[in-house]
Each structure stands twice: as structure tokens, then as C-alpha cells.
Amino acid sequence: MGAAAITGSGVHTPPDLITNDELVRAFNAYADLFNARNAEAIEAGTLRRKGHSSSDFIVTASGIHQRHVVTRDGILDPEIMHPVLPPRDPAQPSLMAEMALKACAEALAQAGREGHEVDLVICAASNHERAYPAIAVEIQQLIGAGGFAFDMNVACSSATFAIQAAADMIRAGTARCAVLVNPEICSAHTEWRDRDCHFIFGDVCTATVIEPVQAAKGGAFRILSTRCNTQFSNNIRNENGYLRRAHGRMEDRRDMQFMQEGRRVFKEVLPMVSQHIADHLAAGGIAPGDLKRLWLHQANKSMNDFIGRKVMGRVPSPDEQPNVLSDYANTSSAGSIIAFAHHSADMAPGDRGLICSFGAGYSVGSVLLERERSRSG
């Protein structure tokens, strides 16, 4: 078969919102409680005193001003400091599937497709709320899709890796219409009691529709090429796996949430990503100046500014390298897709852009796109 294309995209943004000021008040109240309850150990030097956070610190460190979450309940309570969600009956849709339905509806509408036309569903996210049955198979049933479905986890690179997998299957003829969903409930694996990372993440769900380019009904984005790369590192890690019971360590440990060695990640990931993009463009015979837009993983403004300068050889304009981090925070695999969905409608036929995501693994994935002319039918 011929080339594959992104024919639709959608974003579901949870209505609950937490500003930096709200988050800081809750964290500082927790820090004061911790210090008061552990005063003797802190005085003896066996426990470290927890310092306060500030909105200025958060903006300077990350560029984040707010984040959306599936619920505020519990997160801002100094005695809890994590989301509190009611249990769901197995007969009800899972939370991830419920989020996915809303993003899928938007993406399918943009593509001019119905759920029954879909024959591949991939749920690609940095965490899944259960091991099995696959969330993707549940979504497949809920939208009335045929074919097959599976879950995928490549941390923050999950969306771009899923696009490559779907595009390859479209080109091979094993699928005709794919829906990729990225339901990211990052608030549930954030350690809200850690000053270094309590502000980083937010929740969202994105979706994209991938089809043969000749089947596109609107101004699709032809997938010119994709590239994925991984390199093992422990510098971003989460130990909350099913074997924890086998080790007799079921307590809520710090390493069961998101952990990173931030300075090492910055030092090692940025050259890896910058070179990855340069190699991808060179392989396609495309100069950086030929790109209309860079839709980067929304992890940290300083990281993206560095990558943009390295790739473009200059400071990209906000139009060339859109930033949604300020409003959404780091939404893991969904971040680059939010940037694409919100900042692609103005691109003219022939304009080219690159989606790139990167994160734990280490992993980096990129998708080179070209805007197609609108088609009728």
C-alpha cells in the first residue's frame, strides 16, 4: 500500500485545574507538618528538613504555570498529597478508556470517520491502570471498532512509537484505519511530596487517526518518515510493578512513583535528542530551515529551547516551536500531540513539520510530516 497519514487529532482536557500558587500552598503546608512531626530526628541530623517551594521556583525550573488533573481531591490535602478516586465496577469503563473516548470522538470527527471503520486501536501511555485486559481492547469495544488492539508503553515516547507502529501496519496493509490514544493520568504517579518534582506533571488524553494518505477526506498530514531510538538508563525510573508483593515490600515507597536524576537526564538526553532529529532530517534530505514547525515533547521549557536552538541553528520563534507546557505541564506521551493538535491547522499544503518525543528508557521518537491538499469524498 501507499503512504500513511495523520487524518485527525483530538485532545481531552480534564476540567479540574491546579495553579502553581495552589500547589505551593499545599506543598508548604505538608512540609511544615512533616518538619513539626519529625522535629527530633531533624534536630539529631538523621532526617532532612523539608524546604518550601514557590511559584517563582516552579516557573524558573520548568516554565509551567498550571496543570489539569482528573481530580483535585486529595492532591491539595497536606495529609494525603495524592489523587483520591472512587473505585469503579468492572462493568464500568475504566478511567483511561473514558478519557480516550472523548479524545477519540474529536479525532474521528476531524478525520470524517466512524468508530466502526477503525480496525486498529493502540493505547500508548507511560502507565496503565491495570495489567489486563488491555485498555486498548476495551476502547476498541466502546467505539465499536473491528480488527485488533493492544497497549504500548515507551514512557514519554509512547505516542511517537505508536505512530511508527501504526504507520508501518497501514503501509503493510494489515490495518486500514488506526486510532492511537494516549490517556495520561500522570497525577497518579507523581510524588506530590517531593519539592523537586511535585509540579512537573498534569493529566490529559490525546488521540490521532492514521490512514492511507489516499483515503484521507481532509487536509491530512502525510507521514514522510519515522525514526525511533532507545538507550537503557536508570535515570528516570518507577518501581511500581506487580513483583513488589513477591519482595514483601507492599508499602507506599518513594521509588513506586516517578523518580529522576534531573541533571543527568538534562546532560544525557538533550544531545541524544538533538542528534536524533538531525539524523532523521538528514536521512530525508531535509534541511532544518525547511521545517515550518517543531512539535516537541513538553517536558521542560529549557530543554525544548536547547533542542530548538541545536536543530534550527538559531532560536525558533514561538510559532515555529509551540509551547503548551505553561498550561498543561508535562503530560508525558501526550504533550507533543497536544502541541500538534493545537498548532497545525494553519499549515499550508507542502509545509513540513516534525513531532518528537523523548523520555524514560531512554527513548526518543520522531515523525516527519507534510501537509497534504484537501481531498473531497
Catalogue the active-site residues. Answer: 156
Of the candidates 223, 361, 369, which has an alpha carbon nearest to the alpha carbon of residue 295?
369
Output the CA–CA distances (angstroms, integers) from residue 303 to 19, 120, 300, 310, 348, in the order listed: 22, 34, 5, 11, 28
DSSP 334: G
Nearest to 94 by CA among 137, 156, 126, 63: 137
Cell of 211: 490512514
Half-sphere exposure for 145 (CA within 13 Å, toward CB): 30
* Local structure of 287: helix, strand or coil: coil
Enter the C-alpha cell of residue 278.
538531525
Distance CA 50, CA 27 (A): 10
The DSSP 8-state label assigned to residue 245 in this structure reads: G
β-pairing verdict for 4-12 and 203-212? antiparallel
